[in-house]
Structure formats: C-alpha cells, structure tokens
Chains A and B, each alone.
Chain A
Amino acid sequence: NAGVTQTPKFQVLKTGQSMTLQCAQDMNHEYMSWYRQDPGMGLRLIHYSVGAGITDQGEVPNGYNVSRSTTEDFPLRLLSAAPSQTSVYFCASSYSSSGANTGELFFGEGSRLTVL
C-alpha cells in the first residue's frame, strides 16, 4: 500500500548542479503534480500532468523540467540549481475526472532540498 513515493527525502546541492527528484504512484492516477512549499507562501504548483505524455506548467515552472513517460512516474528535474530553489518539494497525485466528484490529492512525504 505504497501510495505516492518520493525520493530522496533530503538533498544538498551546490549552485549550478542538476538533479532529479523522483516520484512514483501505484494508484493508477491520471493526474500528477509537483509543488514547492516555502514559509508563509503555502504550496505553489510547479508542473502537472493529466496523463502519460502530457505535461503543463503551473505557477512557478522556471528552472524545472518534467516528463511523464508512464502513468506511474513523474520526475522533476532541476536543470541548474539556484539558492532560490531551496525548498520542500511535494509530489501529489489524484484521480482525474471530467465531471463532478473529483478525487482528492494524495501526497508524498516531501523532499527537502538545500542549494548552497
């Protein structure tokens, strides 16, 4: 009963380095998303996907890339890390509906990233 699995839980990078945050879900959810959480700013959407092969930008996409080659996986790539990307990152998934009774978001446990 894994749900949404994020790795790594903690990471320290130097400015300019690249890395990938992994996210996998085993609930066959169509919708997957990445958020960053910063003090006093709630959760802000970085990128999202409504199905394999389909991705789109959220509120704060700059400096991040995503891909969705399978239903299960939705990795987030930092291309050239900057101190402003120091944050806690959450991956979340949901059943996607075209009508009423949409499902809730299921969250991973978070990844704390520090960029020096």
Chain B
Amino acid sequence: AQSVTQLDSHVSVSEGTPVLLRCNYSSSYSPSLFWYVQHPNKGLQLLLKYTSAATLVKGINGFEAEFKKSETSFHLTKPSAHMSDAAEYFCVVRENNYGQNFVFGPGTRLSVLP
C-alpha cells in the first residue's frame, strides 16, 4: 500500500526567498505523484504532476518538483516566494494499478513573511 509523508507541518519563508516543501512516499507499484495547493476556505488546485515522464516537473506559478526514485522523494520548490503563495500544500500519491486510490499527505502550511 502507498503512503505519503510531508516532513514539515509548517514552513515559514520571507518574500523573495526560496521555498522547499518536502515529500516522501512509499509505493508498491510505479506511482503517479501530485502536488495540490489549497488557499484558505478554497478548494484544491493542482500545482503539478509526475506520471512517469520527465523526472523534473514544472507546474503553475513557478513551482517545480523533482521525482527521485532512489530517495522516494518528490520535493516541491520555488526560487522566489510571493505573498500569494501562502497556503496549504498537499503531496499526493497514486499507484498505477487499476482501482487504487489517491493517498494524501497531511499537508504543509506555507507562511510568507513580508
């Protein structure tokens, strides 16, 4: 069975500095991996996804993530944080096996300080 660990429950950065949100996963099959963002009192929006193509994935709003199979990691990065990036971020894994579900990490709350 698959599982997801998000190593930090809260990350705080200053505006203009890099963002790193960490995610590790376990999966018995070749996984698909996703990052979602949720702004306060809003739904979830897909930031980016890895589905066995290029290991470096670029998403919306300047975010990117690198799939590292040897480290079972899928960390989310952004070179320069913006105030509008303040939100909750979820790492999600889905095994590429028919009928398997999506498993969510517990989330990382990103605060951006002026």
A interface vs B, CB < 8 Å?
33, 35, 40-45, 48, 50, 58, 90, 92, 94, 96-102, 104-105, 107-110
Question: Residues 69-107 of chain B: 1 if any A CB is under 8 Å from the residue's CB, otherwise 0?
Answer: 000000000000000000000101010111101101111
A110 touches B43 (CB 8 A): yes
B104 touches A108 (CB 8 A): no
State the CA gap A102–B49 with chains docked (Å).
10
Q: Which residues of A contact B7 (CB under 8 A)?
A: none
Tell me, yes or no, whether B44 is within 8 Å of chain A by CB: yes
Interface size on B, residues (CB 8 A): 26
A-B contact count (CB 8 A): 64
A101 touches B44 (CB 8 A): no
A104 touches B49 (CB 8 A): yes
Task: From the candidates B42, B98, B102, name the one contacting A105 in the complex (CB within 8 A).
Answer: B102
B52 touches A105 (CB 8 A): no
B32 touches A90 (CB 8 A): no
Q: Which residues of B contact A48 (CB under 8 A)?
A: 101
A99 touches B96 (CB 8 A): yes
| Cβ-closest chain B residue relative to A96 | B98
Q: Which residues of B contact A108 (CB under 8 A)?
A: 43
Tell me, yes or no, whether B17 is within 8 Å of chain A by CB: no
Task: From the candidates A35, A42, A97, A109, name the one contacting B107 in the complex (CB within 8 A).
Answer: A42
Q: Which residues of B contact A33 (CB under 8 A)?
A: 101-102
Tell me, yes or no, whether B46 is within 8 Å of chain A by CB: yes
